[in-house]
Structure formats: structure tokens, C-alpha cells
Structure 1
Amino acid sequence: MIPKWKLVMYGSVAFLLIAFIQFVYLSNRHMSSHIRKTQKRDDLRIIDQTNQNSTSDRYSKFRCVGDDNDEGGALSRICLFFNICYNKLDKQWTFYQKTLERPVLYEKSKGILTQFEPGFVSLTYMDKHYWHPKVKIGPVPVEASRLTNLHSLFRHWPSQYGLNMGHFVWEDLGGVYNGMRAIGIEPEEMRASTIMDLEYDQNKNDKIFQKFHQLSCAITDIALQSFHDYVGGNFGIFQRANEINNAGKEVSFKEFRDGIVKCQGLDPGFIPKKHLIVITNKKRSNFGRSIKNLDEMTQYIKNTYPLIPVEVVEWDLLPFREQILKAQQATVLITPAGGVSMILPFMSEGTHAIIMDFHVTQQQFGFNVGDSGSMESAFWGHLGWFKKNYYQVKSKEDYVFDTQDATDARWFASVVVKMDRIKSLIDFALEDMSA
């Protein structure tokens, strides 16, 4: 846990702001070790590891990649802060420097800025939380308690509908992993830390903490810590507008997926030897968004493919490890969209998912009215180890609203599956896997 000193000094803090708004803490000791291994004898030693009171430890520093010229460019700015302090009493981050007039940002309209203005970096895209430190002249106080481990602090995006495992695993926790990889840090060196929203009640905090503890072994073997003093953030990956955030992270997604599978005691490289068709049952969902004629479709599939086992699964009734195992065993997974985004990435190499679209009745999320909208395809498109097939929903005959007063089919409609169309997708999947 954080020491009880009122002032905590971090070796360094990186704020990752493109696809993964997280806190990262990297000690000078870690960096100096790397520098010493690569420098020649006559090189100047930049960081003196042997002297804790050296100049490099007494003052704060920072550097950024991204937008250096626009005060409003927080969402495209990644910054690494060294020797920055957090005062636990006034909940203020402080940046210590020798003189006041030091460039912070070369603003295109205002000129050189010498203070970290509010909104310097973004902490939570969904909730529009921003962060900036306060500049103070003078060295880091000698009584500051020093943390030299590599840290990543994270906050789950609060949802009025409770803990959404898809967002939790692939955006919140996955953002920590992608953040580490993006700045060239081995994730296993990290001390994972989760920050709870003080507006949450304690029962919700405990549930999120326990789930994070269960999954954090995919990133690090170091024991998890819980902080209640400060709020961090995350960044969306599922909506079409966020797809640019996923580009280039395909390898990281696979590494993170494999890490979760491995830490649950399962084989990340498991390939099923026999076909299994798994169908998602979402009839108990608060949203609806299910397969309306689930029983009819299930019986049709059993009759059409009598040699292939067919299982109907309510994912939320299975323990997490069993969910992963069932997803790995499925060769064809048929599911409506929404609420299943957590489980699909655990499908095995070469298998097929058949995902229901929704009929677009309101222009939103990059879709036009009348489109067949693929709810989470911005994320699925960057997972290359299994094949995604979409059951398109193009007319009013393809869905029914879940409530009488509903008007938005994205949120409150269930798909009416046509047997000939689902058969064509299953046939394609089976043929593709046999090639």
C-alpha cells in the first residue's frame, strides 16, 4: 500500500492518452540501469544511481510525444513525468523545478506556455476528466516518501448498469497492458494498482477490486494494490469513432488475451479437435438485445447438423475460467451483440464467430439510418486469430423491439433469425475450417 507519509514522490509518471488513458510510474533507478548498460566508458552518466540526493532526483522533469503546439491537444498527447510528487492531504500533484520560466508547451496561438494549464492531459475520455500538475519552485522535499517501483494506476469507467466485463477487461485492464507496451516497458515489471472512484459505494468498489485482482496476473505477478485517493481513467475501443485507437495494437491484444488465459491455468494455444456450436442465451439481459426466436433456431441447428454438439450458454452463470474454456472449445459461436464483448476474444485460432448486427433506426456511432450496424466491429476487426461473420439486420422484419415504447433498435431490440440465412453462415464457417 502507499506509505503513510503525506507526500509521495514517484520516480516518474507517464500519462498515456491515445488508446489507453492510464498512469505509469517508472523509477529513475530502472532507467539508469538501462542507460549504464548501453553507454561507453567516456559517456556522460546522465543519472547517478548511487546518489539518492543527486540533482536528477531533486527536481521534476517531463517529456511528451504527440501534440506540442495545441493547448487543446490532450487526447493526442503522451507524457512521461519524472520525480513528480503527490500530496495525499490536498490531493495535489506537484512539479518541482529550479526556475519559473521553463517551457511547457509551444502553443501555436498563445506562444510559449510556462505552466501546466488545466486540460494538459486527459485522464478519462468517456467522462472528460483532465489532469495537470502544479509548478512549484524548489527541490523535491527531502521528507517525501519515495516509490521506485514501476506502477500503473487505473480506474474503471463507471457505468450506470454495473460492472460491464467487456469494457472492464479490454478497455480498462487491457489499456494498462497496451500502455506498458507502447512506451517499451515489459508489463511483468509493473506493480498493478487500481484506483476506486470515491463516488462508488464500498460494495461496488470491492467487487471491481476483486475482479481486477483475478485478472491482473495477465500483466504482473506482483501483488495488487488498491488506492482510494485519486482517480485515473481509460479510453474506448468498441465504437467506430474509436477504431483509430486500435490500429497497430493487434499484437498487444493477442498477448494480453494469452496472458489472461494462461493466468487462469489454461493453454493459450489450445485448438479444438472436434466441432462444437455454442449459442449465447441473453434472454435474462436487462437490455434485451437477444435472439428472439432462440429456441426455434437452436432446434433447427441441431436438426441440420446432427453430428455436431450444440450448447446454449448463459455466460454470466459460468465462473470466469469456465467462460474462457467454453469459448476456446467453440468452433462456431453464435451470439447477439452487446454484453458478450468480453468473451469472444478468447476463441481459439481459426474458429468462427457469428455475431448479430442491429438495425440502425437512429443515426449514431458512425452508422446511418437503415444500415445494418455491427456493434463492436471496431474492436473485432483488430483480432486476427478468429474469423468474424456478421448476421446482418436490414429491415423491420429482422427484429422486434424489447419494449412497447422503444424506438432505438441498437439498445432495445432483439433479432428474429431467418433459418436459411443462419445456415449459410454456419456452412461457410464449417467449410472454411475444413479447407
Structure 2
Amino acid sequence: MTRLSRLHTVWADALGASNIGHGLWEELGSISYSMERLNEFDPELVIMHEGNIPQTALFRSYQQYIVPALTETPLVEFGAYIRSFKTKYICFEKVFAGGQLSIFKQSTIKENHGREPLFYNWRSKIIAKNGFDPGFIPNKHQIIVTNKSNSQWTNPASNRHRAIANLKEVVNFIRKSYPTIDTEVVEWQNIPFNKQIEKLLITTILITPCGGVSLIIPLLPRFAHAIVMDYYATHDHYGFKRGQSASMEGAFLNHFPHVRKHYYQVYGSQDFEFDFPGAKDTRNDASIIVNTTRLQLLIDTALEDMHP
């Protein structure tokens, strides 16, 4: 019999291999939340993936930049790990399974109340393990506009998915209206995750579409502001009524009070553009046409609130 004294966990991913939001805050985050709630910590925790470790670029990024925030031990596959001991029985002195939180579903959103310290501590662990100060506060303004130029969900008939439709106009307007503030357009998928953290920590205003790409917002510094695009609800769903401006991740992001959120309202067909011919789903298949006058009101509000 083999006796294992290190803390172990049996774990599986659901959507994390293709979506950074689910991977960071639900699937890998849940391991951190469980350790804190159980008050069980081990720098050499063994994370045993229930099946085969996904071979995606995003998952490799997790292994390089996120898993080290949980453990010094590389991720292992449960079956191969167990077989490696070549004994009939294996005794785990400390093992936990389950506990994975679903934090985005409408039916479970209310359960996020009170979890703010768990979420913030996990955010801080990720930042610190990648060599940065979780408490860093920038001393000058920096605006970043997200160019969502790539998505695995992009329809073959389109070159975008749930993006900012008039991105060039928006960026030109910001640079003209705020000439003394550095403004950068970023394609996050082209930057290593540790460099994403570095950029986010010096950002005071992030302007982004909704969806998975917006779930880097918790990595922003204290007192930063995020302007997130809503979508137009064409039918009652996810707690929103038909005709309302709907905030996709708002119910989760609002549990990170260190960042101020502004949800850019979408009132009707003048505020969005379908991403491909025949599209009807305004939540998943439409990009936002940003009115620069309204955007300026949000940026001005953010600037007035901050004193870097």
C-alpha cells in the first residue's frame, strides 16, 4: 500500500479549456476557495485532473501562470498518477473532491454574496505568483480599449464575435478627447498571461466588450474603472426582461468592489449590429455600436472619481 501525506484534490474542467472566465473564476478558482474554506493549505498540493488534461493554448497558459498560484506541483492526470505507484492500494491522508462553484448561472448568483474575500484573495494570489504587487496603485492614467479580434465562437460568415463594432471610431475619439492620457488598444489573446497582468495593473480605465474577455477585470488595480458593454435583451432571459439593457457578467463582477464598473447601456437596434447575415441572437451574435458622446460621460465620471 502507498500512503500519500500531501494534500490532494480530484478535479475536472468543464468550460475552462476554451473560456478564461470559467477557467479562472469557477474551475481553478474553486480549488483556492475550497482550501480557504476548509483551512487546508499545502504548497505541494497535488491537483489530479479526472480525465485527460486538455491540450489547448489556454489550458497550457493556466498551467504556466495560474496553477503555480495554487501549488508548486505540476498538474497530473488522475489515472496515470495512481498507476505510477504500482501498488494495489493507495491511502490519501488528505484529499478533497467536489466543491466546484458555479458562479455565473442565474440560479446560483445569489450564493456569491459573502464570497468577496475568496474571490479577491484568489485574484491576489494569481498576481503575486506572477511577480507583481496585488496592492499596486498606478500614479497616472492609462486607458486600454479591448480589441476582441478573435473568438472560437466567431461565425464562419463573420470576422468578429460580440465586439465593439465601431472600434476605430471609438479609439480615435478617445485619443482626440484625452490627448494627455495614454490610450492603448489591446488584443489580449496575443499577449502572455503574465504580460496581461502587467498591463492591467497600470490601467485606470478599461473599456471592453462583455463575455469572457471582460473577466480579466478583477485583475485591475484598486480604484480602477471598467466600462463594459451591455447587450440588448430580445427576450426574457438571465433575469432580464425583453427590451432591457442586459449586463452579461455584472452579477459576478459586482463582487469585486475594488474596481468601479460602468455598464454601457444598449437601448435598441441603433446600439448594436449583427455580426453576420441572418443572425437574430443579440446576446451572442451582435456587436455594440458605441455612441462616443455617451462614452465620454462614462470616461469623465471615471476620471473625476480617481485621483492618481
TM-score, reference length from structure 1: 0.61
- Aligned residue for 1:434, secondary structure, equals coil
C-alpha RMSD of matched pairs (Å): 2.3
1:405 to 2:278 alignment: yes
Q: Deviations over 1:260-281 (max 9, x none)?
A: 1111111111111110000000
Question: 2-side partners of 1:373 and 1:264: how far apart?
Answer: 34
Structure 2 counterpart of 1:334, one-letter code? I
- Which portions of structure 1, spanning 4 or more consecutive aligned residues, are displaced by more than 6 angstroms? 229-233
2:89 maps to what in 1? none
1:38 maps to what in 2? none
2:204 maps to what in 1? 331
1:247 to 2:98 alignment: no
Structure 1 counterpart of 2:18, one-letter code? L
Residues 358 and 392 in structure 1, CA contact (< 8 A), matched pair in contact too: yes
**Could you tell me which of 110, 132, 137 is aligned with 1:266?**
132
1:371 maps to what in 2? 244
User: Greater CA deviation, 376-385 or 339-348?
Assistant: 339-348
For 1:148-297, what aligned pairs fall within 5 Å after superposition? 148-158=5-15, 163-185=18-40, 187-188=41-42, 191-198=45-52, 203-204=55-56, 208=59, 211-228=62-79, 234-285=100-151, 286-287=153-154, 288-297=161-170
**Could you tell me which of 216, 220, 234 is aligned with 1:347?**
220
User: Greater CA deviation, 292-301 or 235-244?
Assistant: 235-244
2:172 maps to what in 1? 299
1:381 to 2:254 alignment: yes
Structure 2 counterpart of 1:304, one-letter code? S
Mark the CA change 1:297 to 1:192 in structure 2 (over 3 Å): closer, same or farther: same
Question: 2-side partners of 1:397 and 1:374: how far apart?
Answer: 18
Mark the CA change 1:374 to 1:233 in structure 2 (over 3 Å): closer, same or farther: same
1:417 maps to what in 2? 290
Structure 2, gaps ≥5 residues long? 83-96, 155-160
CA drift at 1:396: 1.1
CA drift at 1:207: 6.4
1:145 maps to what in 2? 2
User: Greater CA deviation, 354-363 or 420-429?
Assistant: 354-363
Residues 15 and 23 in structure 2, CA contact (< 8 A), matched pair in contact too: no
Question: 2-side partners of 1:413 and 1:297: how far apart?
Answer: 17
Residues 217 and 259 in structure 1, CA contact (< 8 A), matched pair in contact too: no
- Aligned residue for 1:292, secondary structure, equals coil
Residues 157 and 234 in structure 1, CA contact (< 8 A), matched pair in contact too: no
Question: 2-side partners of 1:391 and 1:248: how far apart?
Answer: 26
Question: 2-side partners of 1:355 and 1:365: how far apart?
Answer: 17
Structure 2 counterpart of 1:422, one-letter code? L
Residues 397 and 416 in structure 1, CA contact (< 8 A), matched pair in contact too: yes
Larger radius of gyration: 1
- Aligned residue for 2:306, secondary structure, equals helix
Higher percent of residues as helix: 2
Mark the CA change 1:270 to 1:183 in structure 2 (over 3 Å): closer, same or farther: same
CA drift at 1:190: 6.0
Residues 398 and 417 in structure 1, CA contact (< 8 A), matched pair in contact too: yes
Question: 2-side partners of 1:210 and 1:322: how far apart?
Answer: 12
CA drift at 1:153: 2.2
Mark the CA change 1:158 to 1:337 in structure 2 (over 3 Å): closer, same or farther: closer
Mark the CA change 1:247 to 1:408 in structure 2 (over 3 Å): closer, same or farther: same
Question: 1-side partners of 2:140 and 2:130: how far apart?
Answer: 23
Structure 1, gaps ≥5 residues long? 1-143
CA drift at 1:416: 0.4
Question: 1-side partners of 2:118 and 2:206: how far apart?
Answer: 23
For 1:77-156, what aligned pairs fall within 5 Å after superposition? 144-156=1-13
Question: 1-side partners of 2:280 and 2:172: how far apart?
Answer: 31
Question: 1-side partners of 2:64 and 2:149: how far apart?
Answer: 30
Structure 1 counterpart of 2:273, one-letter code? V
Residues 278 and 310 in structure 1, CA contact (< 8 A), matched pair in contact too: yes
* Percent of residue pairs identical: 38
Question: 2-side partners of 1:289 and 1:350: how far apart?
Answer: 27
Question: 2-side partners of 1:251 and 1:376: how far apart?
Answer: 18
Mark the CA change 1:379 to 1:194 in structure 2 (over 3 Å): closer, same or farther: farther
1:98 maps to what in 2? none
Structure 2 counterpart of 1:203, one-letter code? Q
1:18 maps to what in 2? none
Structure 2 counterpart of 1:218, one-letter code? A
Question: 1-side partners of 2:284 and 2:106: how far apart?
Answer: 16
Mark the CA change 1:341 to 1:157 in structure 2 (over 3 Å): closer, same or farther: farther
1:428 maps to what in 2? 301
